[in-house]
Amino acid sequence: MKIKSDVKDLKKAVMAVSRAVDQKPSTPSLQGIYIKCVDGSCEIIGSDLDLIIKASANVEIEVEGECLINARILTEVLRKLPSGSVTVSDIGSEIKIETDRSEYNLRKLDHLTYPQSLLEPNYNEENSQKIFTDELFSSLKKVGIASSPEGGKPILTGVCFDNNDNKTNLVSTDSYRLAVNTVFDLPITDAGIVSFRSLNEVIKLFEENEGEIYINSSERELHFYNSVFYASVRKLEGSFPAYENLFPKENLFSIEVPKTKILEALDRSTVVAEGFIPVTLKISKFVKSPTSKPKIFMSTSSEPPPISLFVDEMFSVFSFKIFKVTGINPSATTVDLSRASKIFVFGTSIEKRFSFGKRFS
């Protein structure tokens, strides 16, 4: 194999697929980036089995072939190359990368050990649908903050696509917090449950690139692609919690406050709220009348006081690490605050809800 390319073009393709490569994979071949030059096209592939990213590279192919190169080393080499032309050549057990002023020899990995299922397309392109990603990606980022980090219960690391006619609820929870956001007219109805970590890499990939984006859902994967990049995300198996039952049907209180005020109060009170130090939300002088203007106070302490309800004062305690204000729509002007006996709910007239409180499953 021998190819020539502009450093900028090759670097862009390699950096994109390296997002999917696990630095400590279960098998050595998965720490590599696969370069496949056949039939006049060059495809670069990276995967950790849960996420696959492929890029069509703009290169001049002099000799066709395939090779597997350590992803970390290859990205570091390309990052340090000066602008200009670069030549990549297969010279037996090594790959030579050379420019006018630099030359690197990198030991190859055995490309025959790379999972062949990652190299071939596994979806029917006729079932693909064009999507407008602004609303979808924005909603995914808002609900993703409530998903469980990798290493937790697998089903809770994902975002559930719950379809109902032309409406799709995007839902995530880590059993302490729950986020729901609605998108409309999503062209697929069987997206299932997909890892938010993988979806986040897909969002980064396509947000940085222009062009029409298509979505396709197969039995086990959710696929996104355009003319340059392709990403496949493995669906998670299992039953997602019945999230609709977790939102309180009756509230101890519910008020509407200016969004800027609540966010400013959070910002001031959480200077020392690192980790799981709780934040106390106190709503005082609460009078049930159309003209009442509740005052909001926030503070932090090392010992969380119990959640209490008084005649004219109401308290709620939550961890700042559990709650992140990025889930609130930036275009909203007010935020609705509601609290039941065990769950506190934030929401806006535009957004769906973000709740947290007692652990649920």
Q: Which CATH superfamily is domain 130-243 in?
A: DNA Polymerase III, subunit A, domain 2 (3.10.150.10)
The domain limits of the chain are: 2-118, 130-243, 248-357
Structure tokens at 80: 């340090």
Query: What CATH number does the domain located at 2-118 have?
Result: 3.10.150.10
- Point out the residues of the chain with pLDDT beneath 50: 286-327, 349-352, 357-358, 360-361
User: Distance (Å, rounded) from C-alpha 105 to C-alpha 88?
Assistant: 10
Chain centroid to Cα 100, Å, comes to: 39
Sign of the CA dihedral running 62, 68, 70, 72:
positive
Report the greatest alpha carbon distance in the chain: 81
Could you tell me where the DSSP H helices lie in 122-258?
133-144, 196-207
Per residue in 292-325, pLDDT (tens digit) is: 444 444 444 443 333 322 223 344 444 444 444 4
What does the pLDDT read at residue 176? Answer: 77
User: Distance (Å, rounded) from C-alpha 257 to C-alpha 246?
Assistant: 23
Helix (H) or strand (E) holding 77: helix 71-80
What does the pLDDT read at residue 134? Answer: 87
Per residue in 190-227, pLDDT (tens digit) is: 999 999 999 999 999 998 777 789 999 999 999 999 99
- From the candidate CATH numbers 3.40.50.2300, 2.60.40.420, 3.10.580.10, 3.10.150.10, the one assigned to the domain spanning 248-357: 3.10.150.10
Helix (H) or strand (E) holding 224: strand 221-225
Per the listing, tokens 């039941």 go with 340
What does R_g of the chain's alpha carbons equal in angstroms?
25
User: Distance (Å, rounded) from C-alpha 69 to C-alpha 87?
Assistant: 15
Structure tokens at 57: 């590279």
